[in-house]
Amino acid sequence: MTVLNLSFAACGFLGIYQLGAVGAFLRHGEKLLASLNACAGASAGALVATVLITAPDKLEHCKEFTYKFANSVRSQKLGAVTPGYDFMLELREGLEEILPPNAHQLAADRLHISITHSKSGKNSMVSRFSSRNDLIKVLLASSFVPVYAGLKPVEFQGQTWIDGGFTDSLPILPAGRTITVSPFSGPQDVCPPHTGRGSLHLNLANMRIMFSKENLVRLNQALFPPSISRMKMFDQEGYQDAVRFLKREGWMQ
Give the pLDDT of the chain (253 residues) as one tens digit per residue: 678 999 999 999 999 999 999 999 999 999 999 999 999 999 999 999 999 999 999 999 999 999 999 999 999 999 999 999 999 999 999 999 999 999 999 999 999 999 999 999 999 999 999 999 999 999 999 999 999 999 999 999 999 999 999 999 999 999 999 999 999 999 999 999 987 776 788 899 999 999 999 999 999 999 999 999 999 999 999 999 999 999 999 998 7
14-40 burial code (b ≥16 CB/10 A, e <16): bbbbbbbbbbbbeebbeebbeebbbbb
Complete DSSP assignment for 168-211: -SS---SSSEEEEE-SS-SSSSBSPPP-SS---EEEETTEEEE-
Q: Residue 33 has what DSSP assignment? A: H
Domains belonging to the chain, first-starting first, are 4-248 (3.40.1090)
pTM, 2 dp = 0.96
DSSP lists the bridge partners of residue 181 as 8, 190
Distance CA 139, CA 134 (A): 9
Catalytic sites, residue numbers = 43, 163
